[in-house]
Structure 1
Amino acid sequence: MIKTQRLLLREHRIDDFAAYIPLWTQRLPGSDGGYRFPPLRDEDVWARLLRWIGHRHVFGFGPFLAFDLASGRLCGEVGFGHFHRGNGPTFDGVPETMWTLHPDFHGRGLAGEAAMAAIEWFDRHYPSPRTVCMIEPDNTASLKLAERFGFREFGRGKYKGSLNIFLERMR
Structure 2
Amino acid sequence: MIAHSAPPVVYPLGRSRFQALLLAGLWCAGALATLCWLYSGQQARWHVVLSVVALAGAGLAALAGWKKTEVGQIVWDGQSWRREGVGYQSGIAEQRISVIADFQDLLLLRMQCDTQRSACVWCERSAFPERWLDFRRALFSPGRYAGSSRAVAVSGHADAASIQTKQ
> RCO (CA 8 Å, sep 6+): is it higher in 1 or 2?
2
Larger radius of gyration: 2
